[in-house]
């Protein structure tokens, strides 16, 4: 490794800003600056204070699924532009930009994997794609995830991180709430478990539909979970909200969640939960 040589007068402002970029990372919780490798090795959980930082969908796959392997379902589905929507930039252009920046075709991936040897129908939102917003394709893939779970007799594990319904698709986006809930109920009728994992943030139409309908609802520490934003609620009801409102800890205290678990322990915990819920069927699978 070659070290940078010192210029007369030292580094200029642009060099100071970039020096060490990608080598060190500052924790949003405790403010400690650690090596980027330390955060990478701990799947973006601060080794000092345990605060959870954003983790990519690919790394969640690596953490949760045996061997990081996912047999993808319906990866070919891509959004259309049924409304010809433009907010100063055409919707297809926004989709193309998100596909390029996120390296994903849409805001969710689904497929079959295994957790501690237990086959599961697995889904995970891609927050980097338009804030994990739910449009027609996302809703269709979630519905198919539940339906494939029924057809293949698999439990469903779904990781949510979303800003809610996708405004560029209007009512077609909002109707996904009803469609996904109906598909989730068919999984319940089939006697198959649904473990819902709520990441930061899980909001809007996603939170108001299937996200809190798990047989077990598990959240990461500090995750923001709710429908409308705090400022909107306060201006509507004209009251000051309690401290920590809409955070995972507040929801657990008020009975909206079953567990808050570090992502580092979540795979083992979900496997244990599935073992209890599946019971004798687990050996038969």
pLDDT, one tens digit per residue, over 47-71 is: 999 999 999 999 999 999 999 999 9
In this structure, the answer to whether residues 37 and 128 fall within a common structural domain is no
Question: Cα separation of 63 and 159, whole Å?
Answer: 12
The model's pLDDT over 203-255, given as tens digits with 9 standing for 90+, comes to: 999 999 999 999 999 999 999 999 887 788 878 888 887 777 889 999 999 99
Helix, strand counts (H, E) of the chain:
11, 10
In this structure, the answer to whether residues 151 and 121 fall within a common structural domain is yes
**Greatest extent of the chain over all pairs of C-alpha atoms, in Å:** 73
Scan for tokens 């930039």, then name that residue: 89
Scan for tokens 């070919």, then name that residue: 76
CB 137 within 8 A of CB 77: yes
Specify which residues 124 forms β-bridges with. Answer: 109, 159
> Beta strand 216-219 with 71-73: parallel, antiparallel or unpaired?
unpaired
- Total number of domains in the chain: 2
In this structure, the answer to whether residues 29 and 116 fall within a common structural domain is no
Q: What is the CATH number of the domain that holds 144?
A: 3.90.226.10
The model's pLDDT over 246-258, given as tens digits with 9 standing for 90+, comes to: 899 999 999 999 9
Residue 282: pLDDT band (50, 70, 90) is low
C-alpha dihedral sign at 166, 169, 174, 177: negative
What the block records as the tokens of 282 is: 């687990």
Phi, psi of 155 (to 5 degrees): -70, 155
The pLDDT of residue 73 is above 80: yes
CB 53 within 8 A of CB 46: yes
What the block records as the tokens of 274 is: 């599935």
Q: What is the pTM of this model?
A: 0.88
User: What's the Rg (C-alpha) of the chain?
Assistant: 21
The domain in which residue 35 lies consists of: 20-53
């Amino acid at each position: 490794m070659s070290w940078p040589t010192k210029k007369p007068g030292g580094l200029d402002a642009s060099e100071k800003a970039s020096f060490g970029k990608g080598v060190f990372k500052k924790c949003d919780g405790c403010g400690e600056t650690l090596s980027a490798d330390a955060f990478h090795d701990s799947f973006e959980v601060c080794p000092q204070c345990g605060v959870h930082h954003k983790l990519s969908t690919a790394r969640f796959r690596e953490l949760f699924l045996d061997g990081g392997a996912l047999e993808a379902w319906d990866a070919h589905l891509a959004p259309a532009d049924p409304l010809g929507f433009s907010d100063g930039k055409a919707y297809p252009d926004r989709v193309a930009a998100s596909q390029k920046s996120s390296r994903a075709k849409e805001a969710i991936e689904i497929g079959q994997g295994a957790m501690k040897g237990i086959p599961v129908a697995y889904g995970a939102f891609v927050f980097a794609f338009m804030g994990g917003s739910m449009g027609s394709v996302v809703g269709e893939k979630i519905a198919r995830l539940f339906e494939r779970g029924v057809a293949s007799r698999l439990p469903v594990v779904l990781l949510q991180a979303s800003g809610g319904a996708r405004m560029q698709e209007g009512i077609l986006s909002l109707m996904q709430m009803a469609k996904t809930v109906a598909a989730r109920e068919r999984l319940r009728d089939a006697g198959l478990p649904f473990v819902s994992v709520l990441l930061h943030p899980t909001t809007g139409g996603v939170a108001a539909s299937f996200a809190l309908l798990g047989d077990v609802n598990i959240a990461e520490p500090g995750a923001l979970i709710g429908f409308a934003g705090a400022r909107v609620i306060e201006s509507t009801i004209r009251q000051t909200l309690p401290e920590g409102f809409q955070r995972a800890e507040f929801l657990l205290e008020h009975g909206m969640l079953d567990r808050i678990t570090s992502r580092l322990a979540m795979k083992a915990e979900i496997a244990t939960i599935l073992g209890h819920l599946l019971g004798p069927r687990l050996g038969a699978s």
